[in-house]
Copies of this chain bind each other. A is one copy, B any other.
């Protein structure tokens, strides 16, 4: 049977790109361009909590890196490299090969090579930790605390599909193979908006990626920037697959659904054309869904200008008992 070290070597070691010292020393080394800072983000993903035990391992490898690249995207940082920690309950080589495939394919697509890692055996569940590194000039980073009254609120992509796929797979909704087929990729193969984040530098005042739900994540921008916002529900782009859903679960998916990995950002009203041009250049879609205001709070209005009640709460890993 292969040893731990053989395993790491077989599936995760690749020739390190020029200038980088990769897997195989106490530390990995990577350079940072003069005048730029390192942006870093870390996520710890657990079986049963962040993914289903039977998820396609190739999709899981993709997503484990995607959720971290999405944080770089929200910062306007260019990916430089990443490290991976894997705690495996058993030695399953086909699983490892598929996981590594999905991970490396996304890493290659974004120029974010795996340069270090740690593999260990777990007693129960699979655990995955990924830390990504990017580079960004200090004054260009898109932060959460830069939203100002008069900014528009924007969102990239379409919302809602990942939440619906999750609830279908979790058995919260009755089985609907057609709906699952139309929404599953949004949940399992999220595409981090790295190009859009880079294109928005110098244009957006603030940005965040939507991991816990639009309202909750926008709420982080509002709190950090000490401002409030009004959103217009009918302007929020909704995945076409959800057209036939009832209004209540649809709203919950659009406003509260997590695992989206699109960007929510703010930019001055004077830069609307620049935002749209940035989105086009990144091959992304951007929709203007609301306004930042001085007064604290966050409300959502319907097409008639009425404020929606019973907004969905955000996701909390430790909900009140």
Contact = CB atoms under 8 A, between A and B. Distances in A.
Contacts of A38: 29-32, 38, 133
Interface in A22-39: 24-32, 34, 37-39
A2 interface: yes
Copy total for this chain: 2
Nearest to A47: B123
Given A120-B49, A318-B121, A127 B44 contact: yes
A34 B34 contact: yes
A306 interface: no
A83 interface: yes
A40 B26 contact: no
Interface stretch (A111-119, A250-258, A297-305): A111-119
A320 B134 CA distance: 38
A75 interface: yes
Contacts of A129: 42, 44, 85, 127, 129, 131
A144 interface: yes
B40 A144 contact: no
12 contacts: A5-B316, A7-B318, A25-B145, A25-B224, A26-B71, A29-B37, A32-B37, A32-B38, A40-B83, A42-B85, A49-B122, A50-B120
B74 A26 contact: yes
Contact of A141 (B21, B84, B224, B316): B21
Contacts of A44: 85-87, 118, 120, 127, 129
Contacts of A7: 318
Interface in A208-251: 208-209, 224
A46 interface: yes
A26 to B, nearest CB: 4
Contacts of A30: 37-38, 40
